Amino acid sequence: MTIKVSAISNSEANLKVFADSTAVVGDTEYYPHIGTTEMLDNVLITDKPDVLVLDASVGADLNILQQIESALAKFPQIHTILISPDQSVEYLTLAMHIGVRKVLSSPLNALSFQEALRLAQSRMAAAALASAAFKGGLVIALVGAKGGSGATFIATNLAYALARQNKRVAVLDLRFSFGDAAIYLGNTGAKTNVAELAQQYLRVDEAMLEASMAKVSERVHILVAPATPDLAAEVTPAAIEKIIEVARHHYDFVVLDVSNTLDAVALKAINLSNLLYMVLQLDIPNVRAAKSMGQYLRACGCAPDKMQIVVNSYQRGANFGLDDVEKSTLARVARTIPSSPAAVSDSINQGIPLVELTPRDPVARALKEWAENLAPLDGNGHKNGRTNGNGNGNGNGNGNGNSQNGGPIGILRRFMGFGQ
């Protein structure tokens, strides 16, 4: 696969190193530009590169990161390699956070550059293969930063709201210690559960999965948790992988209520998800737990851009703000859900999803808006194709709620203490 590489540098010598390196690596078209990041937008629009090489050797400052962030917000798929003399942890973290894939040190080492190019090539080839092969639904994992943060309420009600967008939705209750998701949807008639299905996972196909699901409505089906935790002993990562894979081929959305114990099964489920929302409430224990959870998940190989935050029971004027949450967890606040204790508890106690029971309630509205974002209807009220689930704010209805939250530029500004 041939990749287009555009490079911007004000050093003729470095442009020559890039040229020689692309020739050594092969399968590349190379477009050199002498100049600075000022020309970034033009280069991206004209060249439409797969890989962007930015040489910030001279005058590397935070302003360059801001320009890159603003450009990458419009072209998030571009694989960006930055050359910079600044190798401080703060600079590298910021660069990665705004979507730069690799930061190479300056003065430039040609071999490291070639290695970075080869890595870009192999990642792009793998992504192309994956997107060609992937036809299934979007897997959304919700995990509470702490117990009682509202993960199950949100998972079940978001699932129901997605179904109102004409989507077929599976809810998998992966909280094996007395998981209660079915109750939130008013369904207590399940005949089988995830543990029983896992015991025979090698035989699981779409028909068997659907037969094992309790039917909340025509479009919302739920695979319930076992009655007691001991029964879940045979739910292995391999079994859960098979069940999720079959579910994603059979449903438009698969919503996972994941246990915050983060055991091997939970990690497998998170790993298979396209979007991961950590649900928290705005208090110190929740934010601390989300911070530790984020660190742990990143250490376990979870892609940082998949991880997002949902602030539940959000009230303006709380002791600390959404920017504090982002600073501390290094994840974006994708959504805020207001607090509505009476309406939420009525919904749970009656087993009637809130969008059905009290559609005008602010929590119901927030969930509906989120579902509309994830699954927009076309002008005739029909379902559209699956939206891009990468959650990185490229404006295609992926529900990450940057409109709520100032977008990635806002995050960088706040990171640096610039204010909005």
Ligand X SMILES: Nc1ncnc2c1ncn2[C@@H]1O[C@H](COP(=O)(O)OP(=O)(O)OP(=O)(O)O)[C@@H](O)[C@H]1O
Binding site for ligand X (CB under 6 A): 144, 147-153, 175, 312-313, 337, 339-341, 344-345, 348, 363
User: In the complex, what is the shortest distance from the CB of residue 244 to Mg ion, in angstroms, rounded to a whole number?
Assistant: 18
Which is nearer to ligand X, 158 or 337 (by Cβ)?
Answer: 337
The option from ligand X, Mg ion, none interacting with 189 (CB < 5 to 8 A, set by class) reads none
- Residue 254's nearest CA partner among 153, 174, 345 is 174
DSSP codes of every residue in 313-372: EE-TT-SS-HHHHHHHHSSEEEEEEE--HHHHHHHHHHT--HHHH-TTSHHHHHHHHHHH
Q: In the block, which residue shows the tokens 């309790």?
A: 214
Q: In the block, which residue shows the tokens 């930061």?
A: 103
User: In the complex, what is the shortest distance from the CB of residue 228 to ligand X, in angstroms, rounded to a whole number?
Assistant: 16
User: In the complex, what is the shortest distance from the CB of residue 265 to Mg ion, in angstroms, rounded to a whole number?
Assistant: 15
Which is nearer to Mg ion, 152 or 400 (by Cβ)?
Answer: 152
The three-state secondary structure class of 31 is: strand
- Residue 98's nearest CA partner among 127, 62, 49 is 62
Q: Which two tokens stand for residue 329?
A: 């967890």
- Is 260 a residue that touches Mg ion (CB under 5 A)? no
Q: Which stretch binds Mg ion (CB under 5 A): 146-154, 305-313, 342-350, 379-387?
A: 146-154
H or E element that contains 13: helix 12-25
Strand partners, 222: 171, 214
- Is 152 a residue that touches Mg ion (CB under 5 A)? yes
The option from Mg ion, ligand X, none interacting with 18 (CB < 5 to 8 A, set by class) reads none
- Is 312 a residue that touches Mg ion (CB under 5 A)? no
Q: Which two tokens stand for residue 318?
A: 């709380």
The option from ligand X, Mg ion, none interacting with 379 (CB < 5 to 8 A, set by class) reads none
Which is nearer to Mg ion, 6 or 193 (by Cβ)?
Answer: 193
User: In the complex, what is the shortest distance from the CB of residue 338 to ligand X, in angstroms, rounded to a whole number?
Assistant: 6
User: In the complex, what is the shortest distance from the CB of residue 303 to ligand X, in angstroms, rounded to a whole number?
Assistant: 23
Q: Please tell me the count of residues contacting Mg ion according to CB under 5 A.
A: 1
- Residue 272's nearest CA partner among 234, 301, 294, 295 is 301
Contacts with Mg ion, residue ranges (CB under 5 A): 152
